[in-house]
A and B are shown apart, each in its own frame.
Chain A
Amino acid sequence: MNNETQTKVGPPLWLLAELTYDCPLHCPYCSNPTDLGDTKDELNTQQWLDVFTQARAMGAVQLGFSGGEPLLRKDLEQMVKHSRELGFYTNLITSGIGLTEKRIAKLKVAGLDHIQISFQGADPEMNDIIAGRGNAFDQKFKMAQSVKEQGYPMVLNFVISKQNISQVEDIMRLSCLLKADYVELATAQYYGWAFANRDHLLPSQKQMVDAEKIVNEFRDKQNGKGPKFFFITPDYFEDRPKACMNGWGSTFLTIAPDGSALPCHSAKMLPLKFPNVKNKSISHIWQQDFAFNRFRGDSWMPEPCQSCDEKEKDFGGCRCQAFMMTGNMDATDPVCSKSPDHHLVQEAIELAKNPKEPIFERVNQRNFKGEDIVRIKL
């Protein structure tokens, strides 16, 4: 990587802090790695506060507290307070399990700007089967009401898969009832657990077309009122890949629970050695690290990307997807119809019509009682 490219690197505007991979739910679409590691390696409070201070000084402005379930960390309020004082826009990305009216209020006092709650379905039956936990729906429903009553902007996130795609209209009605501001109807992306369960999750093209029609008809009847719905289709049905993470190492910085710094939340799967905030500064990581520079610019690109006039638009697609499907992280994303590996995507769509393996429920981390990390039992 030459110096010219390095000096052009802008700030990591978006910082995703994955506080823990631990989670009370067992959703098969989870994009966490299938090897969740050990909770004893998690960053402690002071290490996280240092990460926020350093990243903010570099210009990071959006901060997502995510996981796993970030509410499992008892020091969440302290982290919110510190990062809000630094000037971050603070987003809590939660399953809603572990929220109470009191904790929503405490987070507000700490300065939390926004809460995103995930749902797995439009009713308790569907939701709790996918989540692998009883009473999850009722808890989410009550907490979503409280989030709005306490004056937060609220985003609802529904991961759409073959399992719940028939509920799209009911999901949209539920979102209106809960007075969501934005709603993500996001078809599962096939990373981590979701990749292992892809045959059970990937909808057929007909299901996608039907769902999109329902979404559009619903939107037409809204007359500019109610939630703003985003329908995010799986890239498997596209001709061109997504501009993954707005380009490798351009905007997004993920810090995994153990302190690994990653250009996206899935990158750890790649055969690269990623730096860790426990022994490297954020500025060194972002500006100098080999792994972060590895796919910046276009000199790494193979054909057909190298000579493609759309390479500035999609940056060759997703490195993790290329690696998972072809075994080569430098390959053109197989989603692209110009890719010599495009048949792999078409085969995946065929395979999903008749799943042969049983569905895997996401399991949890090996638990360890850390000395300086206080956990909340959910």
Chain B
Amino acid sequence: MINSSLQPKLNPMFRLQWEQVQECYVLLYPEGMVKLNGSAGEIMQLIDGNNKVVDIINTLNDKFPDAGDLTEDIYEFLSAAGEKKWLYYEQ
């Protein structure tokens, strides 16, 4: 279960990168690429191994004050990204 004090880390199998031509963030891995939508890109770029889940939530709530509380959306994305093994948490 994800909680707000966990520090998500990017699976070293993946590289996150902004692609100007596609105008989106992408995750690159051996011979493959996942295109991220806007909100997924916003969350993924905050996963630097230091930020805790709570830091990501606070940063994005501050950045998008008109979007309402993003907490639930962020948990939902982190859970899906964990299942896809984009992220991991050190126990």
- A residues neighboring B (CB under 8 Å): 11, 13, 58-59, 61-62, 64, 87, 89, 91, 113-114, 116, 151, 153, 155, 181-182
> Are A155 and B31 touching (Cβ within 8 A)?
yes
> Are A11 and B22 touching (Cβ within 8 A)?
yes
> Are B26 and A153 touching (Cβ within 8 A)?
no
Nearest chain B CB to A190's CB is how many angstroms away?
22
* Least CB separation from B11: chain A residue: A153
> Are A91 and B30 touching (Cβ within 8 A)?
yes
Nearest chain A CB to B25's CB is how many angstroms away?
12
> Are B21 and A59 touching (Cβ within 8 A)?
yes
Which of B1-58 touch A at CB < 8 Å?
Answer: 12-13, 15, 17, 19-22, 26, 28-33
* Least CB separation from B29: chain A residue: A153
> Are B22 and A59 touching (Cβ within 8 A)?
yes
Complex contacts, B21 vs chain A, CB 8 Å: 11, 58-59
Complex contacts, A153 vs chain B, CB 8 Å: 12-13, 29-30
| CA A145 to CA B4, docked complex, whole Å | 38
Nearest chain A CB to B67's CB is how many angstroms away?
29
> Are A181 and B19 touching (Cβ within 8 A)?
no
Nearest chain A CB to B36's CB is how many angstroms away?
13
Complex contacts, B32 vs chain A, CB 8 Å: 62
* Least CB separation from A88: chain B residue: B28
User: What are 28 contact pairs spanning A and B, CB under 8 A?
Assistant: A11-B22, A13-B33, A58-B21, A59-B19, A59-B20, A59-B22, A61-B19, A61-B26, A61-B33, A62-B28, A62-B31, A62-B32, A89-B15, A89-B29, A91-B30, A113-B15, A113-B28, A113-B30, A114-B31, A116-B30, A116-B31, A151-B12, A153-B12, A153-B13, A153-B29, A155-B30, A155-B31, A181-B13
Complex contacts, B30 vs chain A, CB 8 Å: 91, 113-114, 116, 153, 155, 181-182
| CA A62 to CA B35, docked complex, whole Å | 13
Complex contacts, A59 vs chain B, CB 8 Å: 19-22
* Least CB separation from B28: chain A residue: A89
Nearest chain A CB to B85's CB is how many angstroms away?
9
Complex contacts, A151 vs chain B, CB 8 Å: 12
Nearest chain B CB to A102's CB is how many angstroms away?
23
State the interface size on chain B (CB cutoff 8 A).
Answer: 15
> Are B19 and A62 touching (Cβ within 8 A)?
no
* Least CB separation from A59: chain B residue: B21
| CA A179 to CA B19, docked complex, whole Å | 31
Extra pairs beyond A113-B15, A182-B30 (17, CB < 8 Å): A58-B21, A59-B19, A59-B21, A61-B19, A61-B26, A61-B33, A62-B32, A62-B33, A89-B15, A89-B28, A89-B29, A91-B30, A114-B30, A116-B30, A153-B13, A153-B29, A181-B30
Nearest chain B CB to A324's CB is how many angstroms away?
25
> Are B17 and A87 touching (Cβ within 8 A)?
yes
Complex contacts, A87 vs chain B, CB 8 Å: 17
Complex contacts, A11 vs chain B, CB 8 Å: 21-22
> Are A91 and B22 touching (Cβ within 8 A)?
no
| CA A61 to CA B33, docked complex, whole Å | 9
Complex contacts, A181 vs chain B, CB 8 Å: 13, 30
* Least CB separation from B15: chain A residue: A89
Complex contacts, A58 vs chain B, CB 8 Å: 21
| CA A28 to CA B32, docked complex, whole Å | 28
| CA A114 to CA B28, docked complex, whole Å | 11
Complex contacts, B29 vs chain A, CB 8 Å: 89, 114, 153
Complex contacts, B28 vs chain A, CB 8 Å: 61-62, 89, 113
* Least CB separation from B18: chain A residue: A87
| CA A181 to CA B14, docked complex, whole Å | 12
| CA A248 to CA B33, docked complex, whole Å | 19
* Least CB separation from B19: chain A residue: A61
| CA A153 to CA B31, docked complex, whole Å | 11
Nearest chain A CB to B78's CB is how many angstroms away?
19
> Which of A13, A116, A151, A181 has the most C-beta atoms of chain B within 10 angstroms of its own C-beta?
A13
* Least CB separation from A228: chain B residue: B85
Complex contacts, A64 vs chain B, CB 8 Å: 31
* Least CB separation from A93: chain B residue: B31
* Least CB separation from A57: chain B residue: B21
| CA A55 to CA B20, docked complex, whole Å | 13
